[in-house]
Amino acid sequence: MAASPIVLILGSGPRVGAAVAAKFFSSGYKVAVASRNGTGAKTNEGYLSLKADFANPNSIPALFDAVKAEFHAAPTVVVYNAAALTPPPAKDDLFSITAGMMTKDLNINTVSPWVAAQQAVSAWAALPKDTKKTFIYTGNALNATILPVPMMLDLGVGKSASAYWLGTADSLYSSQGIRFFYADEHYEDGKMKGQQLDGSAHADFYVQLADHAGNVPWHATFVKDKGYVQFK
């Protein structure tokens, strides 16, 4: 009997993160969740809970080590769900955001997921070639939409930068059974979801992405109950 697959969810908030964890668990996965409130023990649901500091990219490898120590295998699915933004100290003054603030948020939005992808690809090299390996980044429309709102600057910079490396990685590794996705939920009319993200919609779609079903491209725009939808 094949061992249960493993998912590592980096950023396990009460909406998307929690729904994604529950869906993968019910789909037969062993689940590890990492957050600022991680305990290093099992949750009531049976997940491995890990403490994480996504502002410190150097802390990411230890999370993969902890998963391997607990489950004796690497995660075949990695979901990066953490995100950060910093409002300008001077309201509506874009350039009052300091270099330190920008750096911290860029670490959370781009550098830490990059390190997580490095760790995943390194671990996947030892897995059978026919094993499906998947990295999913919870994105939004800011990689393709400019919002003239200073508060959104750090988040938009991070999402845009991450979308670029995710698309590049997918183009280079997809032929090896490794997929990278920038997942972006929309309304049916194509409008961005903003703060109205649907956790269950993400969960359903992410399980589909982990199965590499439907020939979904790296820029995985989706709609609740419909899955991937290509928007112009």
Residues identified as active-site: 159
List, edge to edge, every strand of the sheet that includes 219-223: 48-51, 30-35, 6-10, 77-80, 133-138, 178-185, 219-223, 227-228
What is the C-alpha to C-alpha distance for residues 102 and 73, in angstroms, rounded to an integer? 35
Q: Which tokens sit at 43?
A: 């949750």
Are residues 107 and 54 in contact, defined by beta-carbon separation less than 8 angstroms? Answer: yes
Beta bridge partners of 35: 51
Of residues 11, 53, 24, 82, the one with CA closest to residue 211: 24
